[in-house]
Amino acid sequence: MNLELKSREYRRKILKYILKAKAGHTGGSLSCIDILNVLYNEVLNVSPANADAFDRDRYIQSKGHCVEALYVVLADKGFFPESDLETLCQYQSHYIGHPTRKIKGVEQNTGALGHGLPISAGVALAAKMDDLSYRVFTLLGDGELPEGSNWEAALSAAHYKLDNLCAIVDLNGLQITAPTTEVCNTEPLDKKFESFGWAVRHVDGHDIQALRDVFADLPFEKDKPSAIIAHTVKGKGVSFMENELKWHHGVPTEAQYKVAMEELENP
């Protein structure tokens, strides 16, 4: 299956399990799913077979609330049976609303914001210290960028020349209260990262080929950590969810679900 079709399938599954759980971060999962699709299917050297290998690439999802996107990709990659996701957020399920290491394939427990980048910097530094070639990818939400710990880690990542570290910002422009520019403006984001010593690229976070190309260029500069600012649409793929604040963690009704699935079947 080509990755464009896979993205549509992933989106349908995200909605399916959010509907079943009656909970989930719909808009953000739909905005980051194309990024995860390309990462897991073409970039990362991780699979269920090497999930514990010391030289595997690491993906650490800082925006942990969009765990539904991660779950459907990990299931597709065979880390666990997809039927497990029927238990999402159910009593006694390991499949909670944020990533945990109880789930095979999940590298770190996340959910509180501003944690992914410091941990990723530590993992990337370990690779440098041990002279290993693995890479570390972390996905940040644009809404979590005001967390100061991100910028503490951004300083250290540049200081230690972690060019094996890639931070991807899922820049969908909306957070729970309002557009990110209204809540706490982080623009110009590229200049901020650059001034912290990072090499920065912009990409259309829904263009599979553009994502492939930008990942293929890593590291953007030797001795610098790389930041990818992925311009995305919150709720991408479902017309009535796109750029709508209420779908941050909105759960569709059965009727809305049918319309959404139809759109994703026949875009």
Residues that bind another protein in the complex, under the rule CB under 8 A: 54, 101, 107-112, 114-115, 117-127, 129-130, 148-149, 152-153, 155-156, 159-160
Is the CB of 17 or the CB of 134 nearer to another protein?
Answer: 134
Q: What minimum distance in Å lies between the beta carbon of 123 and another protein?
A: 4
Q: What minimum distance in Å lies between the beta carbon of 62 and another protein?
A: 10
Is the CB of 18 or the CB of 60 nearer to another protein?
Answer: 60
Tell me the β-bridge partners of 171. Answer: 231
Q: What minimum distance in Å lies between the beta carbon of 165 and another protein?
A: 10
Is the CB of 119 or the CB of 168 nearer to another protein?
Answer: 119
Is the CB of 124 or the CB of 210 nearer to another protein?
Answer: 124
Q: What minimum distance in Å lies between the beta carbon of 128 and another protein?
A: 10
